[in-house]
Structure 1
Amino acid sequence: MSTGVLLAHAQVITGADDAPVRDGAVLVEGGQVRAVGVDVEAPSDAVVIDCTGKTVLPGLVDCHDHLLGRSRYAEGTSDLGEPDATWAVVLAHYAQRSLDQGVTTVRVPGTRHAIDLAVRRAFDEGFLAAPRMVCAGEAITMTGGHGTGAGVEVDGAVECTRAARAQLAGGADFLKVMASGGVGTVRVGEDPTHPELDVEEMAAVVAVARAARKYVTAHADGVEGIENALRAGVTCLEHGIYLTAEQAADMAARGVRLVPTLSTMVNIARRGAEWGLPPEWIGIAEGVLEVHRQSFRNALDAGVVFGTGTDGYGDIVDEIIEFTTYGVSPMRALQAATRDAAQIAVPGAEFGVLAAGRHADILVVDGDPLTDLTTLRQVVLVMSAGQIVRQSG
């Protein structure tokens, strides 16, 4: 049995700030990266994979995917009446599809009845190959709030505390709160600008998370909801559609991260009718496109750390490409999908960068994504924790 795998003669993008390694190699042993560089020595019995004309980079990280697809993410539809077993199979399907696309880590910010935690347990026991799953269990929302039907409803700080503790007891890695309404509405008249959980309620969740050395992220679209979430002490914001320049500066000063899900709004607005999404969702998405673009400019100008998130609409390459429409370089966009997204999902993560001693989550694509990011869809090999889970060509 071989003692390692050598990915040889490739362009290597480590995800760090160093320049790409031309005609480089990556040695993997025991689930870890052992060496990266030009002159990499490998054991004599190592499996050598010639990657001439290909690029080796860290596995991609999706920081916001409920793994339920577009139809089942449409909270408030008849899909919510399906049994949990159906949802579990659907979630497993989308998880495996993500892995095939080179996404080796998925942060799941809330699922109905904490199905993500149950499916992850099955994955961990080896029943199916899947990406690393970083799970929130059920999102925490106010009664009738955004995500109703796919989260746990609470009112007041005491109920928020109880719900937060319940998610952690079930194995959640982080907690998710709903600070505002959203684009995917359930309540009649719900709007992304509406604040939902208040500062005291979210602060109670933050206190529970901190005691357990976990973090809280907030679905926060409107200005007031964003402000409440920041005052409550969350670590990350999801979407941030109406984020102001002042709020972005506050985020940067505090080290609060952003998962903007830019391509989600673009795809809902442009492809929602084709996908059969509710007309009211499409109208809301169309109405926030420009303000969302300005909010992300505010985040860039302030130096907020940001990462990739798809929300199930389109693929992660859509999001990476969307970043470049703001002047973000292809290399910086790739770092947002690897190094930075990894640190958002799991602070202190040992994945997201190719370096000696790091986890061997690796993507190999045909071509050079630095000159054409669509080559990220030309997947040749996917490695998760040192195991090859997809190989073609």
Structure 2
Amino acid sequence: MPVDDLFAEAERQLIVCNSCRYCAGYCPVWPALELRSTLTRGDITHLANLCHDCRDCFSACMYTPPHEFDLNPPKVFAQVREETYRSYVWPSTVPGWMHGWRGVAGWFVAIFVLLVALSSLTGGAGNSTGPNPGSPYEILPHLVMVAVVAAPSLWTIVVLAAAVSRYWRDTHGRLRDLTRPGVWARTLVQGVQLRHMRGGGQDCDYPADVPSPQRRRLHLAVTYGFGLCLVSTTSAAFMQEFLHLMPPYPYLSVPVITGTVGGFGMVVGCAGLMLLKRRSAPEPGTPSMRRADYGLLWALLILSVTGLLTLFLRTNPLFGPVLVAHLAAVIVAFAITPYTKFVHWIYRLLAIYKDNMDKLA
């Protein structure tokens, strides 16, 4: 659907919703809609990213198909979010090699081969023959590992920073309004609790039209699992740089405990969400968003599984190939992050922040 037609259809549906207001208590989208007598593209983009796709409104709505009003807010919001993910990054027309499983698989293989070559050129001995078995630096030197991961990370940070700036200017305006600590505190609490995924207080109508806490709980498993993996990486860097303790770390150390718990949390959460998605009704979504959901879940699952394997196999001859595979997956993930659904949490967090700020106005 052309962009102009998409926003015109979204405006049409939201005008009907604003007249009805039956869903006012379901989530912050509808009270935020009531504050607006006219709708700009920025308003619609904000409301679409404030939507957590709980689908309670779709289940309760009396004007969904086959009614002549033909309302489907979750679907039109999903379409607008897809436009958000596409239009605010650079380049907005994503090259073919940055999306699709064939392109991603090709880059994974290429980077895997490059890392194997770098390991050979730098004298990578493998975990069983070097002086420090189980250390990743027996496979790749520290500086080489930092360099190959830092390059795509810096690219992603620059692209996302520009995207955030453009998004905020379109949905709100002044960038200085992003510097309100009290609003951020409230926003982060709501975000880490996934509070807005409770719908009308009874959780999502997902995967069926009956309220269930499954989706929110599995999202929490992924969210906290990912956070614990970040804690693992950060604590390992702190131990190495400031305490001068080199890997491998003991099983009862902070990096290993947080990485293990976080990895298992991501595995359970991603697998569970994929099963729920298979059972979910397709009508309130779009085929392309469904593919993006699966792509993100598979990427996180591969990262968590290969990360766990590097721990369990660190005294095994397979440690070297598994570590290289994990690093290749990390590099590819970092490089294509701005062009995947992984960015959804950034826009959603900004939408929650704006909603909290608007309530104080």
TM bucket by the smaller chain?
Answer: under 0.3
Bigger share in helix: 2
Higher relative contact order (CA 8 A, sep 6+): 2
Compare CA radii of gyration and give the structure with the larger one.
2
Q: TM-score, normalised by structure 1?
A: 0.23
